[in-house]
Amino acid sequence: MRYDLIVIGMGLSGLMSAKTAVDAGAKVLVVGKGTGGLCLFTSGIDVMGALPAGAAMGEALPRWIERHPDHPYAKMGWEGVREALEAFAELFPPPYGFAPEGEGNCLLPTGAGTTRPTYLVPATMRSACRLEKERTLLVGFQGFRDFYAEYAAAGLKCRGENLAIPEIAGRNNSATSLARLLEDLPFREQVAAEIVRRLRGETHVGFPALLGFRNPMEILKDLEDRTGTAIFEIPILPPSVPGMRIFRRFRQHLIARGATFLLGSPVSRILRNGPSCTAVEILHPPVTQVYEADRFVLATGRFMGGGLCADEETMREPLLGLPLSASLPREHWFERSFLEGREHAIHGVGVVTDGDLRPLDGAGRPYAANLWIAGTLLAHQRWIDEKSREGIEIATGYRAARKALAS
């Protein structure tokens, strides 16, 4: 069986590529080992957190792009980014929708008691925009070790308490087990009662981000009704339940539209014939499976995803050996300080592409006739400090698929 498009990588950029292609009617195979960073550190949809506070995205981002002409966003411009974001958001109709709060970034509280800028805010985090400290109570759970309400509250200068629910206190509860329990009415009633007991006039209550998988707004509204407060989710240590919601939605959509969804396979080789890629080889010992396609999108991420690897001295792109934007000596990979000063140079290294997201060879020509790159594997972006990961993944995933199908 031959596919119109094979997407290598199951992170947000791969999923977005695959979605874009199936929506255009293409026969798609999406393959990956792991769920990308999606299920680990997703809060909102970041586009460019590094803009000045209060700036309107539609004005400030184009200016930022002009100053960073090598950045992936420069390949499609703000218009291209916006179009891709819309294509993403249409997967999430109300009540669990993603939308900006106002014109630009919104500062959302985190589990560490800091705030972070993000652009598209999921409905469950909306009440956290414009936090009023004196009117906010953060709640965690005794027996849940990935969020400590008092600690987060100390940073955010509001109040925080860990709820004592007998059923779960004193045990090692996980985010998913709590998310599941919250889908259950009796448990929610207990939680709500506990919150009410602890309120001292606060109007807003912050929860760790685990208000269920499938119907978070239903759970949120129920808790709001029972407590008489506005409720919001706070992103916490991995795994990320909000990220899992996004993953499951993409998976559902792709399978329903006939995509072949291979979660769990590492691609061991991309086969080529002259200027074109012809197939992917998936080593699933003892068997090797080969899938052929006309077009390929490589969205394998960075080190965690396996898009880049390194030995003690050199970095490389392991599947095709694509040239990277820089050949940094090991001692320049990381700065002496972890947090202060310059960003670590290693993060800017990646695969260089043309405006259509085709990777370039050493001479600046497209490496293959039918290969496109999406996601954080791309060079000249520093998503960690820009706070731009989801935006890059969505915009380049969208564009790569459209360019591929147009070819």
Among residues 248 and 272, whose Cβ is nearest to other proteins?
248
Q: Of the candidates 254, 256, 193, which has an alpha carbon nearest to the alpha carbon of residue 228?
A: 193
Q: Which is nearer to other proteins, 263 or 369 (CB)?
A: 263
Q: Are strands 260-263 and 28-32 parallel, antiparallel or unpaired?
A: parallel
Q: Is position 13 an interface residue for other proteins (rule: CB under 8 A)?
A: no
Residue pair 247/38 in contact by the 8 Å Cβ criterion: yes
Q: Of 274, 336, 342, 362, which lies in the binding site for other proteins, with binding defined by CB under 8 A?
A: 336
Stretches 76-84, 272-280, 358-366, 381-389: which one binds other proteins (CB under 8 A)? 381-389
Choosing from 302, 358, 380, 402, the residue that interacts with other proteins (CB under 8 A) is 302
Contacts to other proteins from residues 183-242, by CB under 8 A: 214, 235, 237-241
Nearer to other proteins (CB atom), residue 111 or residue 206: 111
Q: At closest approach, how far in Å is the CB of 136 from other proteins?
A: 16
CB atoms within 10 A of CB 283: 13
Residue 153 C-beta: closest distance to other proteins, Å: 8
**Measured between alpha carbons, how far is residue 92 from residues 4, 6, 78 in Å?**
26, 24, 21
Alpha helices (H) in 228-303, listed in sequence order: 241-256
Q: Is the peptide bond before 109 cis (omega within 30 degrees of 0)?
A: no
Of residues 52-71, which lie at the interface with other proteins (CB under 8 A)?
Answer: none
**C-beta of 217 vs 230, nearer to other proteins:** 217
Angstrom CA distances, 119 to 57, 62, 81, 136, 207, stand at 8, 15, 12, 22, 20
> Smaller CB distance to other proteins: residue 52 or 364?
52
Task: Let me know the angle formed at the C-alpha of 312 by 311 and 317, rounded to the nearest 5 degrees.
Answer: 30
Least gap, CB of 308 to other proteins (angstroms): 8
The token pair at 145 is 């070790």
Decide whether 223 or 346 has the Cβ nearer to other proteins. Answer: 346
Q: Which stretch binds other proteins (CB under 8 A): 56-64, 89-97, 197-205, 383-391?
A: 383-391
Q: Which distant-in-sequence residues (6+ apart) come within 8 Å of 393 by Cβ?
A: 11, 12, 13, 16, 36, 299, 374, 375, 376
Q: Which two tokens stand for residue 82?
A: 């916006």
Q: Which of residues 16-35 bind other proteins (CB under 8 A)?
A: 29, 33-35
Q: Which residue of 69, 303, 327, 369 would you call a contact of other proteins, by CB under 8 A? A: 303
Bin 387: left if φ > 0, else alpha if -120 < ψ < 50, else beta: left
User: Are the CB atoms for 387 and 400 separated by under 8 Å?
Assistant: no
Q: How far is the CB of 396 from other proteins (least distance, A)?
A: 18
Pick 368 or 393: Cβ nearer other proteins:
393
Binder to other proteins among 36, 122, 359, 375 (CB under 8 A)? 36
305 binds other proteins (CB under 8 A): yes
Within positions 238 to 277, which residues make up the interface with other proteins, using CB under 8 A? 238-241, 244, 248, 252, 255-256, 258, 260-266
**Rounded-to-integer distance, Cα 229 and Cα 69, Å:** 45
Tokens of 234: 């706070």
Find the shortest distance in angstroms from Cβ 283 to other proteins. 10
Which 120-179 residues touch other proteins, going by CB under 8 A?
143-148, 150-151, 154-155, 162, 168, 170-177
How far is residue 142 CA from its own chain's centroid? Answer: 28
Q: Residue 302 or residue 358: which is nearer to other proteins going by CB? A: 302
Output the smallest distance, CB 235 to other proteins, in A: 6
Q: How many residues bind other proteins (CB under 8 A)?
A: 95
User: How many H helices and E strands in the chain?
Assistant: 11, 17
- Which residues in 68-127 contact other proteins (CB under 8 A)? 110-117
- Asked if 386 contacts 44 with a C-beta cutoff of 8 angstroms, the reply is no
How far apart are alpha carbons 45 and 243 in whole angstroms? 10
Q: Is 40 in the site for other proteins (CB under 8 A)?
A: yes
